[in-house]
Amino acid sequence: MNERRPLNACSLDELEQRRARLAARFDQLKAAGLKLDLTRGKPAADQLALSDGLDGVLGGDYRAADGTDARNYGGLRGIPEARRLGAEILGVPPDDVIAGGNSSLTLMYQIIEAALTFGLFGEGSAWREESIASRRAVKFLCPVPGYDRHFAICDALGIEMISVPMTDRGPDMDAVEREVAREPMLKAIWCVPKYSNPTGCVYDDATVERIARLPARAGKHFVVLWDNAYAVHDLTTPAPRLANVAALAKTAGQADHVVQFASTSKITFAGAGVAFVAGSAKVLARFEHYLGAMEIGPDKVNQLRHARFLSGRVAEHMRAHAALVKPKFAAVLQRLEASLGGLEVARWTEPHGGYFISFETRPGLAKKVVALARDAGVTLTPAGATHPHGRDPHDATIRIAPTFASLRDVEAATEVFALCVELASVEQIIASRSDARAKTGSATQ
Amino acid sequence: MNERRPLNACSLDELEQRRARLAARFDQLKAAGLKLDLTRGKPAADQLALSDGLDGVLGGDYRAADGTDARNYGGLRGIPEARRLGAEILGVPPDDVIAGGNSSLTLMYQIIEAALTFGLFGEGSAWREESIASRRAVKFLCPVPGYDRHFAICDALGIEMISVPMTDRGPDMDAVEREVAREPMLKAIWCVPKYSNPTGCVYDDATVERIARLPARAGKHFVVLWDNAYAVHDLTTPAPRLANVAALAKTAGQADHVVQFASTSKITFAGAGVAFVAGSAKVLARFEHYLGAMEIGPDKVNQLRHARFLSGRVAEHMRAHAALVKPKFAAVLQRLEASLGGLEVARWTEPHGGYFISFETRPGLAKKVVALARDAGVTLTPAGATHPHGRDPHDATIRIAPTFASLRDVEAATEVFALCVELASVEQIIASRSDARAKTGSATQ
């Protein structure tokens, strides 16, 4: 049914016919009352079931490797085997890891709040002190498109967001270095270095190296926030390799300025896993002190469950995830290509892992497409969510999350989505030609 | 060996003989190299074992009562059955409860930080705004002796602490009401209403009623922080009844101004349980909004485990705890009475539940006794920990925590402790008589 040539190359008549055909199909879909959802980066039930063995795995043995009774209070850094698990995922020494509660997002919030109000680098290093003294806001660099929950933390804590563009090799480092040199109140950069949310790109070696050296160029007390949420969430073999930012930062004398995060949320149970934060001895000691006022320790029983369940078999376990997730990514990509390939009205990423595909419409169409899809029964992440304050200046980026729905639903939803993109694009092109004609008309009158 | 009369009534010779006898015994103990610990309010291993059935209790069924898949993301307020469990413990409707993570201490910290920086009562209600505008610090009322971790939260968040005396029926409400009328920047009062930490007292009905009405007398945005940590931790039957502060506050039109906390930490696993916060619809909505920036939801799998494990049998489960804990309390009380009864050098509480006994030495001896006990191999909570900034103005209060050690160790440790109290008391009385003689001598010279 689709012709394989750019829509822009079609005549107005051809476009009008195409619109009529697409609109009729759209009305059919709308009448069908679909209820499909591509919004959230959530694992599907069959992925979660891979970890059902967690419950009962302890078999009555609640002793950690160092003799700690995991059932009792204490130990702000978590038990040794959980710290080793985090170290394995993040590629750092276990001593550099704190194993925490169920949420790496919470650890990020807490690290940032600690940096703001308490200081990660000793007395007098609190960002807020500098902010009050200089009467200037604390600012973070936000590569866009990015992760809405990172932006929400900034919003909640009164941190200004400076957008920099993402490329397919990571943040545009020329832009990043320029901003950092210009603005001493820039205190951090958000990074999802592997299978970036939402583009799915993996930062290349040159980018990671420049990021590791970035704190040396920045104002004082700068922190690289390295949210390695998808460190082991590969879909292809061999998986793309991510350079070791901690090792590079150490070489660059900037070990104190990189803080890493990970969790088992999308390895075992989303929201019932174990989260990790990694940093230098100095920063972890400050953070532990900060945490000491608000908790007695993390849930060590759940840590022990996870360590016993995953020990020595993370890679194998992630292959089982990939077997379930990969067909869904393939289904989205195949249907996007089948529906939109050659039309030159959209671009999308083809990630080798992670949880998202980033889709780019013609400028000014993302909101429209999301609204059309909703009318046709397919819920998408709100357009703009990938940008600070929900404002995508080009209104073009849409995040597609293929994991949660069933394969059949993903297929159906993608077809609806592609139809909406094509319809919105055709309408936009027709409208722009009418505008152009009207302008030409009024100019010649 | 002990004579049953007040040490103050003994002659100097008798006291000197007594000191020699006690010192010799003390040296024996010191040489014995004991290693005993009465510091922490931790459950003992046999108490924890009562809940070993938690692991595996789900039997592969991860569905909550409302159909929620507990393994996946979402639901800031927790699953319905966990909220019902919290409601049962706190005596409030389930709708007024958020079931959270593993730590009620964290929920307290978060509620206070939310009240400080975000406001629990809508726009413009943040305590910090008022503090900045008035250039005056936020202050909390702290009944003393009290819980060191409550004080540590105040310290961490820059909140000034105003001490008020505890009585055996709760805080001295005349003092509380006086302070509240005097100081509009008093924004909260810490309460451990049942088996107060460390005195073990239960607030009587009149006290609870006055506390429920307190916000009406206080400056704006006042909060009663009701840490009902030992709500079901009874050692006697029938257990003392605590009046329902939420119901009383509602009657008084102050429902928004009471926030309650509890957890299963000392019901199931310490640090691996479920914590609860209860409040009015308005306050919970604000708090949920605040939490939304830092987490996606609590560990619902652990909530489901707890709900299934404890549902309908909290009282029975707590009786099993009591069977293990009560002999330890009895052992402490019996040995204190046997060693110190009639000497009139100390007082101690005799709680009907909870985790602590509060012990009062002659003024100026608490630190000395703790140091002596340490030398004899018995670790006690640092003297002063029961007061803000670790400063007990009378240097008299010592918190005894009998639960964690074995019964035999509790017996041995209490005997050592009592010996240290008697030795320090005898020495103090002898010294004061020497002082008195020296003064008389110099006066007559």
**Cα distances (Å, whole numbers) of residue B140 to A421, B89, B112, B165, B219:** 57, 26, 11, 14, 12
**Cα distances (Å, whole numbers) of residue B49 to A239, B42, B66, B354, B406:** 44, 13, 30, 19, 14
Mark yes or no for CB contact A296/B101 under 8 Å: no
Burial class (CB in 10 A: 0-12, 13-18, 19+), A358: buried
C-alpha–C-alpha distance, residues B273 and B298, integer Å:
12
Q: Say if CB B345 and CB B421 are below 8 A apart.
A: yes
Q: Say if CB A75 and CB A297 are below 8 A apart.
A: yes
- In Å, how far is A101's CA from the nearest CA of chain B? 8
Q: Is the complex ipTM more than 0.90?
A: yes
Pairs across A and B, CB distance < 8 A: 156
Q: Rounded to the nearest 10 degrees, how much is the dihedral formed by the CA atoms of B227, B232, B238, B244?
A: 40
DSSP reduced 3-state for B336: helix
C-alpha–C-alpha distance, residues B67 and B62, integer Å:
9
pLDDT at A39: 87
Residue whose token pair is 């469950």: A305
- In Å, how far is B71's CA from the nearest CA of chain A? 5
C-alpha–C-alpha distance, residues A19 and A8, integer Å:
13
- In Å, how far is B144's CA from the nearest CA of chain A? 19
Mark yes or no for CB contact A271/B296 under 8 Å: yes
For residue A297, the number of C-alpha atoms closer than 13 Å in the C-beta half-sphere is: 24
**Cα distances (Å, whole numbers) of residue A422 to A27, A382, A386, B148:** 14, 19, 22, 64
Angle (CA) A211-A216-A220 rounded to 5° is 115
Mark yes or no for CB contact B299/A302 under 8 Å: yes
Question: pLDDT truncated to tens, each residue of chain B (445 aa)?
Answer: 445 799 999 999 999 999 999 999 999 999 999 999 998 889 999 999 999 999 999 999 999 999 999 999 999 999 999 999 999 999 999 999 999 999 999 999 999 999 999 999 999 999 999 999 999 999 999 999 999 999 999 999 999 999 999 999 999 999 999 999 999 999 999 999 999 999 999 999 999 999 999 999 999 999 999 999 999 999 999 999 999 999 999 999 999 999 999 999 999 999 999 999 999 999 999 999 999 999 999 999 999 999 999 999 999 999 999 999 999 999 999 999 999 999 999 999 999 999 999 999 999 999 999 999 999 999 999 999 999 999 999 999 999 999 999 999 999 999 999 999 999 999 999 999 988 888 776 554 4
- Out of A48, A57, A156, name the one closest to residue B72 (CB): A48
C-alpha–C-alpha distance, residues B151 and A380, integer Å:
46
Mark yes or no for CB contact A62/B52 under 8 Å: yes
CA closest to B55 among chain A residues: A56
Mark yes or no for CB contact A60/B55 under 8 Å: yes
- Out of A293, A294, A296, name the one closest to residue B271 (CB): A296
Q: Say if CB A278 and CB A84 are below 8 A apart.
A: no
- In Å, how far is A88's CA from the nearest CA of chain B? 23
What are the pLDDT digits (tens) for A118-161? 999 999 999 999 999 999 999 999 999 999 999 999 999 999 99
Mark yes or no for CB contact A293/B153 under 8 Å: yes
CA closest to A298 among chain B residues: B271
| Nearest of A264, A233, A243 to residue A352 by alpha carbon | A233
Domains and CATH numbers, chain B: 7-47+317-435 (3.90.1150.10), 71-312 (3.40.640.10)
- Out of A52, A294, A301, name the one closest to residue B269 (CB): A301
- Cβ neighbors of B291 (< 8 A, separation 6 or more) are B76, B110
DSSP reduced 3-state for B340: helix
Q: Say if CB B207 and CB B170 are below 8 A apart.
A: yes
- In Å, how far is B58's CA from the nearest CA of chain A? 7
Please, which residues bridge with residue B37 across strands?
B379
CA closest to B40 among chain A residues: A73
Residue B296 with chain A: CB contacts under 8 Å: 103, 105, 149, 270-271
Mark yes or no for CB contact A103/B271 under 8 Å: no
Residue B110 with chain A: CB contacts under 8 Å: 294
Sign of the C-alpha dihedral, residues B242, B244, B246, B251? negative
Q: Say if CB A204 and CB A169 are below 8 A apart.
A: yes
- Out of B57, B109, B305, name the one closest to residue A293 (CB): B109
Q: Say if CB B376 and CB B420 are below 8 A apart.
A: yes
CA closest to B404 among chain A residues: A72
User: Longest Cα pair distance anywhere in chain B, in angstroms?
Assistant: 90
- In Å, how far is B262's CA from the nearest CA of chain A? 14
pLDDT at B445: 45
Q: E strands along B275-370, which residues?
A: 275-278, 346-348, 357-361
CA closest to A305 among chain B residues: B55
- In Å, how far is B32's CA from the nearest CA of chain A? 26
